[in-house]
Structure 1
Amino acid sequence: MFNIYKEMWDRRKMIHALSLQEIKKEYAGTVLGSVWGLVNPLMRIAVYWFVFSIGTRADNPVGGAPYAAWLAIGMVAWFLLNDAFRLSQKAFRSKRSIIKNTPFPIAILPAVQITFSFYTHLILLVVILIAMAFALQTVSVYWLQILYYDFAALMLLLGLGSVTAPLVAISKDFGRFLDTVLIFLFWMTPILWPVENAGPLENVVKLNPFHYIVQGYRDSIFYHSGFWEHPLYTLYFWALVLVLFILGNYLYKRMKPIFLDIM
């Protein structure tokens, strides 16, 4: 049932090597190199902090957490979700030359893009956690829970990438539609605002699996809340991941001959 994921696991060393190549290629020819993977998100966090803290003065603490720190942790989680999903859904289409000209195990391509994004994410995460330790003057064992939420994010992204990559390979318009969806998700996922502000729509907002990851980061850093304290929400998240895995495997098997001909 999960042939595509078995192939990814069997070729995990290749995925790791190709991800490192992607990093080298991404920053080749730049003076700062991979440091740009840190500078760009930090500047974006600073801009959003300035707009919402200085511009609109909406910088009240959220559940006792300083807004700037609360925002930064949410943005770190979002950068992983956004970048990995954006790259993985275009994994087949963006690698047309490799697919056409070499006998390449194309099933691993979404995983390569997700792993590339994850390695970049780790650098930013370490820097932010060090900053949090100084800013909050405390470190908690709950911070280790970030490892769980990173794993959960990778599984979610793998499922989403497996579902969307074959569809984008067939239709470039679908890829543009997903880019628009990501913009919508950024503003509708409680990254810049607390989910409680949604009022009666709070439970609807929580159906977005990205919220599970973003809120999980914040629960780990600020609120010392374990994922096991939200059993129904956790069960919903993993059930959705399982559905995506099954659907992704099915779509890849059914659509591989089609998109190989089209590309």
Structure 2
Amino acid sequence: MNKRKFIKLIILVLLICISNILIFKFCNLDDKSITLSYKIESNGQDSYQVFYGNDASWKEEQSQRKSYTNVNNQETLKFSIPKDTMDLRFDLGEHPANINVSDIKLSHWGKDANIDLNQILNKNNQNEVVEIQQMNNSLNIETTGNDPYISYKMDSSLISNLIEREVTVNYGIKLGMCILIDILGLIVLRKSRSVLILIQELKNNKTLIWSLSKNDFKTKYAGSYLGIFWAFIQPIVTILVYWFVFEYGLRSGSPIKGVPFILWFMAGLVPWFFFQEALLNATNCMLEYTYLVKKVVFKISILPIVKILSALFVHLVFIGFLFFVSSIYGFYPSLYTIQLIYYSFCTFFIVLGISYATSAIVIFFKDLGQIINIFLQIGMWMTPIMWSYTMVPQQYQWILKLSPMYYIIEGYRDTFINHAWFYQRYFQTVYFWVVTLALFSIGATIFKKLKPHFADVL
């Protein structure tokens, strides 16, 4: 091993060690809620509400409501309550009914703890409940319908025992993240020559890249009366059409209380437009610039980045438009706005990694361009841009989060609406960069392997 390779190895090992230390130090799973559930059977349809708190001062904002519709059949109602809950109140509908309640339990990360029905009978403070009896591990309750409820004082040891598993899960996830980073480090080390050559080419030709990007952006709309304005008119019209259809046609409201639908919607659609346009243009760059690909001295590795920068110009204008709309509704720039640089770079980098592979493969397999178009159409509707991921059952939400674009779109919403830093979503951040760096390494390797044959095929 020569001195240069040895230094690279040492640097990589140090980076991996530092990453592992940071993960174990700062990446702590902190699920602030647990699940309260119970089975209910009633002789009438009704809504059931659970209040939670620490001082028995029941507030509407500290409650959740579920509907019971399957009359005379057992249903399970689930509520999400904070870990520090000490007082519970079970509201038992708004109409007189005979109710059977059973299997009242708390759940957290696959571990369950049942609430002792005897404790409810002994400790409860009940209102408008005509009769309550325990029978076969269940409670038979007769109510008058005038806001009946049962209150219960939580045993603190019940929750503390329940969340013990969270520590184990924490260490398991941390270990998995460290293993992923270590594997990625080994891949980067093995493929480092291809990646480093590519990065060096981009660095040496940065002036040319900038000039070609500006020229590409201008010439795309040369000859038309409105010129480059067409780059903004079509996406803006698309946004307005989608907004009108969803908010006024389908009556879709914003998933976040107090946030206008148009702002929530645009914060998700603007980064997707950038990703879509950049990927399509970068995929076809070799076919568009055939005359440059055939030149022996030209560094064709800069062409995908030229196309992505060209799309970035349009994206910057749309960010300005997003600022304008958000200001109208009282959402002004803040310290969190600086995250736009980070999330734009995330989009730029993942498109670059993917496009190195697609731009090389499309030369030999022309149908790839049409396949990418189809995948982008599917991806636009599968990614929670026009709808909230909370509409999906909680046990399936992880499937949506596998897409790297989920991280970016939610990041834009965190910047404009939620005011949350990217490092607060540390698991998703680590996952995104593991996937992105892997895609970039694979893309750079494919590009390097196929590049010698480009001129012959074209």
Length-normalised TM-score, structure 2: 0.55
Distance apart, 1:177 and its partner CA: 1.0
Query: In the TM superposition, what is the alpha-carbon distance from 1:97 to its structure 2 partner?
Result: 2.6
2:396 to 201, 207, 225: 201
Q: Would you say 1:109 and 2:109 are equivalent positions?
A: no
Partner deviation per Cα, 1:218-245 (whole Å, 9 max, x = no partner):
1110000111001110001111111112
Distance 1:201 1:135 in 2: 33
Unaligned runs of 5+ in 2: 1-191
Establish whether residue 218 from structure 1 lines up as the match of residue 413 from structure 2.
Answer: yes
Over 3 Å counting, the alpha-carbon distance change for 1:62 and 1:14 in structure 2 is: same
1:255 aligns with 2:429: no
Say which structure is richer in strand. Answer: 2
In 2, distance between residues paired with 1:143 and 1:150?
Answer: 12
SS at match of 1:193: coil
CA RMSD of aligned residues (A): 1.4
Matches within 5 A, 1:23-172: 23-58=217-252, 60-64=253-257, 65-100=259-294, 103-172=297-366
The letter of the residue matching 2:369 is G
CA–CA distance in structure 2, aligned partners of residues 67 and 50 of structure 1: 10
What's the counterpart of residue 441 of structure 2?
246
Corresponding letter in the other structure for 2:254: P
Is the 2:362–2:368 contact (alpha carbons within 8 Å) kept by the matching residues of 1? yes
| Letter in structure 1 aligned against 2:432 | F
User: For residues 142-186 of structure 1, what are the alpha-carbon distances to aligned partners after superposition, in whole Å with 9 as ceiling and x for unaligned?
Assistant: 122111101111111111111211111211012211111111111
Match of 1:7 in 2: 201
How far apart are 1:216 and its partner, in Å?
Answer: 0.5
Separation in structure 1 between the aligned mates of residue 306 and residue 333 of structure 2, nearest angstrom: 33
Q: Give aligned pairs, total.
A: 262
Structure 1: distance between partners of 2:279 and 2:268 = 17
Partner residue, 2:105:
none
Per-residue displacement from partner, 1:88-127 (whole Å, max 9, x unpaired)? 1112122223222564211101000000000111112112
Q: Which has the higher helix share?
A: 1
Corresponding letter in the other structure for 1:201: Y
State the structure with bigger RCO (CA 8 A, min sep 6), 1 or 2. 1
Q: Which runs of 5+ in 1 are unaligned?
A: none
- Report if the CA contact (8 A) 1:162-1:252 is conserved: yes
CA distance in structure 2 between the aligned counterparts of 1:137 and 1:109, rounded to whole angstroms: 38
Q: Which amino acid aligns with 1:202?
A: Q
* Bigger-Rg structure (1/2): 2
Aligned counterparts of 2:440 and 2:203: Cα–Cα separation in 1:
14
Deviation at 1:196, TM superposition (A): 1.4
Partner Cα separation in structure 1 for residue 369 and residue 376 of structure 2: 11
1:188: which partner in 2?
382
Supply the distance in 1 between the matched residues of 2:312 and 2:331 (Cα, whole angstroms). 27
Q: CA deviation at 1:6?
A: 2.0
Once the two structures are TM-superposed, the CA of residue 215 in structure 1 deviates from its matched residue by: 0.9
CA distance in 1, matches of 2:339, 2:321: 17
Q: Which 10-residue stretch deviates more, 137-146 or 147-156? A: 137-146
Deviation at residue 130 of structure 1 after TM alignment: 2.1
Superposed displacement of residue 137, structure 1: 4.6
Q: Is the 8 A contact 1:170 1:258 kept in 2?
A: no
TM-score, structure 1 length as denominator? 0.95
Q: Report the AA paired with residue 223 of structure 2.
A: G
